[in-house]
Structure 1
Amino acid sequence: MRLSTPRDRAYRPLTALLTALAAILGILAALLATTGTAQADTLICEQFGSTTIQGKYVVQNNRWGTSEQQCVNATNSGFQLTTANGSVPTNGAPKSYPSVFNGCHYTNCSPGTNLPAQISKISSAPTSISYGFVSNAVYNASFDIWVDPTPKKDGVNATEIMIWLNRVGSIQPIGSPVGNVSVGGRTWELWSGNNGGNEVLSFVAPSAVSSYSFDVMDFVRQTISRGKAQNSWYLTSIQAGFEPWQNGAGLAVNNFSSAVNLGGGDDGGTTPPPPGGCDVTYATQNWTDGFTANVTVKNGGGSAINNWQLAFTLPSGQRITNVWNGTVSPSSGAVTARGQSYNANLAAGASTSFGFQGTYSGGFSKPSSFSLNGTACRVL
C-alpha cells in the first residue's frame, strides 16, 4: 500500500474542482441542447417584411394601405399585431392584411408548399385557425383564398375567396349580398363583387367565430358551382389574418395549420358533373356513441361522370371506422368519398351507393352540404 504524500493531498482539491466544473459544463450543454430548438419570436415592422414559422408557413406584415407604422410579432404557431397605427375610411379598402399563409404571395412562396396546384388534382385542403380578438378596433378576421386559371405565383389572381370569421365596425365585403349558403358545416351570408379586375366571393359569418377547422375545397367547390372558377384552375395560396381599418393592436392568430392533399390523374383524372348537377341522399341510424350512414349519389346531368368524388364535412366529434362500396378519407373532418373500380363511373341519370360506420361524441347531426367533383349537390 502506498501512503499519500503532501503532493497527492495538494492535488485532491484541484481534482475535485475540475470534476465539479466538468459536471456544470455538462448541465449547461444539456440545457442549450434542450432550448436550442425553440424558435424565438420575430418582430416585423417593415412594410412588406416577412418571416417563416414551423418551417412551412410565411408570416407577413403586408401593410399596403397606409404609411403609419404597423408591426407583427411572429411566434412559432402564428402572430400578434403589436403596433397598428392610423386609420382609413370604413367605406373603402382596409389599411393592411397582416397574415400567415401556405402557398405563394407576390413570388414569396412558403417553404415546401405544393401550391399552386390544379384544383381537379386536390382531394382536400384541411386547415384550422384559432384567433385572439380585440374590441377597440375596426377590422375583420378572415381567410383569403386565391384561385387563377394559371399556376400564378405573382400578382393578383382572377378570383379571391374570402371567409369573414369576425366583423367589427361598419365595414362590409366587396360587392353586395346575394343570399345565404351552407358550406363547411356553417351558414354564411354570401357577398359577390368585383375588385376592379378580379372576382371576389365573400362568406360572412353572422357572429364571431374564434376557432374553425374546415376543408378549403368546400369553399372552392362552392365558388366553382357559382361560375367564379373552374376545376382546371389552380389554387395558389391559403392565407389567414386580419384586415384592420382602425387600430388593431393586440389582434392575434394563436394557431394556424394548412395542408393540401393531392389526388387524381395526371390530367385531373375526374370529369366535372354536367349542368344537371347531382342529388345526395344521406340516411343514418345512430345509437349512444355510434352510427351508420348510407349515401346515395345521383348524376342528374346528361353525360357520364368519370371517377366521381363526393366531398363533405363530418360534424365535430364524428369518426369513420368502416366503409363499404367505396373509400372515404380521412376518417374525420373534411372528407372525400370515392367509388371502387366497379362503381367509379356514373352514367347520365345513374345512381350509386356507399356507406360507412362510425363513432361520435356529443350530439349527433348530419353533414350540411355535399359537392360532387367540385359542384354543389342537392340534399334530398
Structure 2
Amino acid sequence: MRHAHIYLIIGVLLATGLFAAPAQAAPVLCEKWGSTSIQSGRYVVMNNVWGADTAQCIDVNQSGGFTVTQSAHSKPTNGAPASYPAIYAGCHYATCTTGSNLPMQASASAFGSLRTSVSMTYPSSGTWDAAYDIWFDPTPRTDGQNTGAEIMIWLNRQGSIQPVGSQVGTVNLAGGSWQVWFGNIGWNVISYVRTSPTSSLDFTINTFYADAISRGYAQRSWYLTSVQAGFEPWVGGAGLAVNSFSFGTGGGGTDTTAPSTPGTPTASGTTSTSTTLRWGASTDTGGSGLAGYDILRTAGDVVQRVGSSTTTSFTDTGLSPATTYRYQVQARDGAGNLSPASAAVTVTTLSGGGNGGACTATATTQTAWNNGYVIQPVTVTNGSAARTSWTVTFPLPSGHTITGIWNASYTVSGGTVTVRNLAHNGNLGPNGTVSFGYQASRPNGNTQVPTGYTCA
C-alpha cells in the first residue's frame, strides 16, 4: 500500500550513509523522514511522510508516544495516504530497537507471549485511520522490504477510506468484532477493521497472526520483524496522538491466564472429503472471556491451523480420500492467551470420489522481478457436476520456493506443489469458479515461472 516507494528510498539512503540511525533527542520532528529513539533505544518514533510533500510535524513524548501537531495533507481518498507517523519496536530498515528480541520466528515458544498495547487520542476532523502495522518476513530480515505478511489492525477510521483489497470475512478477536480484509501488493496485506471504534487495545501478537494463518494468508515459519502503531492521514491529521505504547513479553496486559484445555475432540459424519469435530468446552478465569477455538490438523509431518470456531464444533472440508488426519483443539481468550492443545483424535477419510466431474486450472502472472514473482489469480473452473473440494497440482522449477499463498493451503513434495481448498471455498456448483494466488522466490536472474497446472 504505502511502503514500497519509501522503503526503496530509505534503502538507498542507508546504503550510501546519508540516512543515519535515529538520534536520541529531537522532541519535535518536522523532517520528512525524521525519527528519534526514546527510552534508551527501546522504541523509535518516526515522522515518515512517505506519500506526500505537504508539511507534517510530530511532538515526541519521551515516555512512549507522540502527537501530530501540524498536518497539511489533502490527498484523494481512493489512493494511498500521505504518511504513517508511528512508534515501533523491532527492526525497520536496518534500525533495530533495543531489547525487542526481533526478528523472532512465529513458531518459537516465546512468540505466544509477545504482547503489545496502545492508547490513542483522535481529533474530530480530517480523514485518517489509526492502525497497528505488524510485519512478517520469510527470513529473519532486519532491513529492506518484508515480503511475507503485513498485519494491519485498524482501531478507528474517519472518512471514506478502506484497507487494501476486499473484505473476506468477520471475526471476534481481542475483545472486539473485526472486518477482515485481504489484498496482495507483492506481499500479503491482512487488515482487521474494528466494527466498533476503540481508543485503546491490548493483545498478544499471536491473536491476529493465528487468524491470518488459519485463512491461508501467513505461515508459522515466518519471522516477526517489527510492531508499529500510528496513523495514516489522507486529509489533515493534526491532533492524532499515541498517548502510550508497549511491546514485550507480557506487555501491559492484565489477563495472562490461558483458558483450560478443551476436551478431546470426537469425529462424526466423515466422508471422503470432510469430517465434523466436537469437543468439550474450555473455561476462562483470566477475566477477558473465552473468544473461541483454533483447530489444528496434522497430515504427515505438517501441522496446520485449519480454522476457528466460536462453538464446540467444526466441519473440516477439502480433505483427500483414504487419508489419515490428526486433530487437536486450542482455546483462545479475549486477550489472545492460548490454552494447551487438547488430546488428539485420528480420522481416516473414506475412499472414493466425490469430486463431481472434471475441472481446469489456469494461472496468470501478476508481477515478476529478478528473484521472485506473484501468480494471481489461479482460477479453478468446475465441470458440469457440483463438487465439495478441489486440488491443483503443478511442478515447481528447481531452486524456486513458495513464500506465501492465499485463499488455499499447500504442500510441496519432490518438486510438486499440491494446493487444496480451504474450508470456505471448497464447494463449487456446476461451471463455478474460485481463485487463489501465491508468491515465490527464485534464483537471481532466473526467468522461469511454473506451468502445467492440473486440477482434480
**TM-score range relative to shorter protein:** 0.5 to 0.7
One-letter identity of the residue aligned with 1:62: N
Matching residue of 2:268: none
Q: Which amino acid aligns with 1:219?
A: F
How do 1:193-208 residues align onto structure 2 when only pairs under 5 Å count?
A: 193-195=183-185, 197-208=186-197
Given candidates 47, 51, 56, the residue that maps to 1:61 is 47
The aligned residue for residue 100 of structure 1 is 87
Correspondence 1:154-193 to 2 at 5 A: 154-158=143-147, 159-193=149-183
Q: 2:336 aligns with which of 334, 337, 346?
A: 334
- Residue 281 of structure 2 aligns to a residue whose secondary structure is strand
Letter in 2 for 1:164: W
2:216 to 219, 227, 230: 227
Instruction: Check 1:292–1:73 CA distance in 2 against 1; reply closer, same or farther (3 A cut).
Output: closer
- Counting only pairs closer than 5 Å after superposition, residues 118-133 of structure 1 correspond to structure 2 as 118-121=105-108, 122-133=111-122
1:53 Cα shift?
Answer: 2.1
Deviation of residue 59 (structure 1)? 0.7
SS of the aligned residue for 1:47 comes to coil
* CA distance 1:200–1:250, shift in 2 (3 Å): same
- Alignment pair present for 1:213 and 2:198: no
The answer on whether the counterparts of 1:279 and 1:297 sit within 8 Å (CA) in structure 2 is no
Q: Distance in 1 between matches of 2:209 and 2:68?
A: 29
State how far apart, in whole Å, the 2-side matches of 1:169 and 1:247 are: 11
Asked if residue 348 in structure 1 is aligned to residue 346 in structure 2, the reply is yes
2:127 counterpart of 1:141: no
Percent pairwise identity: 44
Structure 2 vs 1, CA of residues 286 and 124 (structure 1 numbering), >3 Å: closer, same or farther? closer
SS of the equivalent of 1:334 reads: coil
Q: Which sections of structure 2, spanning at least 5 residues, go unmatched?
A: 1-23, 251-272, 310-329, 349-421, 424-456
Q: Secondary structure at the match of 1:135?
A: coil
**Structure number with higher helix proportion:** 1
Instruction: Answer whether contact 2:60 2:67 (CA < 8 A) is retained.
Output: yes
SS at match of 1:259: strand
SS of 1:283's partner is coil
1:14 counterpart residue number: none
- How far residue 83 of structure 1 moved from its aligned partner, in angstroms, is 1.1
TM-score, length-normalised on structure 2? 0.53
The structural deviation recorded for 1:250 is: 1.0
Cα separation, 1, equivalents of 2:98 and 2:207:
25
Rounded Cα–Cα distance in structure 2 between residues aligned with 1:205 and 1:291: 17
4+ runs of 1 displaced by more than 4 Å?
Answer: 275-282, 284-287, 289-293, 295-306
CA deviations on 1:326-358 (whole Å, 9 max, x unpaired) are xx9xx994323336xxx8x746359xxxxxxxx
Distance, in Å, in 1 between the alignment partners of 2:345 and 2:167 is 37
* Structure 2 counterpart of 1:319: none
Secondary structure, counterpart of 1:46 in structure 2: coil
Look at both structures and tell me which one has the larger radius of gyration over its CA atoms.
1
Q: Are the structure 2 counterparts of residues 84 and 164 from structure 1 closer, same or farther at C-alpha, using a change threshold of 3 Å?
A: same
Could you tell me how far apart the structure 2 residues matched to 1:233 and 1:88 are? Answer: 34
Cα-Cα RMSD: 4.0
Match of 1:248 in 2: 237
1:51 to 2:36 alignment: yes
Note the residue ranges of structure 1 that are not aligned, 5 or more in a row: 1-38, 262-274, 313-327, 351-375
2:37 partner SS: strand
Matches within 5 A, 1:15-26: none
Whole-angstrom distance in 2 between the partners of 1:201 and 1:290: 28
Rounded to whole Å, the distance in 1 between the matches of 2:278 and 2:32 is 49
Cα deviation, 1:21-43, whole Å, max 9, x if unaligned, reads xxxxxxxxxxxxxxxxxx98711
1:78 corresponds in structure 2 to 65
Which secondary structure state, in structure 1, belongs to the residue aligned with residue 217 of structure 2? coil
- Rounded to whole Å, the distance in 2 between the matches of 1:144 and 1:290 is 27
* Structure 1 position 243, deviation (Å): 0.1
Equivalent pair of 1:285/1:291 in contact (CA under 8 Å): no
1:90 to 77, 91, 94: 77
Evaluate the alpha carbon distance shift between residue 151 and residue 296 of structure 1 in structure 2; reply closer, same or farther with a 3 A threshold: closer
Deviations 1:37-79 (A, max 9, x none): xx98711111111112223111111111111121111111211
Gap change, CA 1:298 and 1:140, over 3 Å in 2: closer
Q: How far, CA to CA, are the matches of 1:45 and 1:72 in structure 2? A: 7
Q: Deviations over 1:236-273 (max 9, x none)?
A: 11110000001111110001111157xxxxxxxxxxxx
Aligned pair count reads 279
Q: What is the DSSP-based 3-state SS (H/G/I as helix, E as strand, rest coil) of the residue aligned with 1:220?
A: helix
Quote the Cα distance in structure 2 between the aligned partners of 1:137 and 1:66: 16
Q: Which amino acid aligns with 2:105?
A: Q
Q: Give the Cα–Cα distance (whole angstroms) in 2 for the partners of residues 305 and 198 of structure 1.
A: 23
Q: Match for 2:179: what amino acid? A: E
State the match for 2:327 in structure 1: none
TM-score (norm 1): 0.63
Cα 1:280–1:110 shift into 2, 3 Å: farther
Offset at 1:276? Answer: 8.3
Answer whether contact 1:141 1:243 (CA < 8 A) is retained.
yes
Distance 1:215 1:225, change over 3 A: same
Q: SS of the counterpart of 1:222?
A: helix
What's the offset of the Cα at 1:290? Answer: 9.5
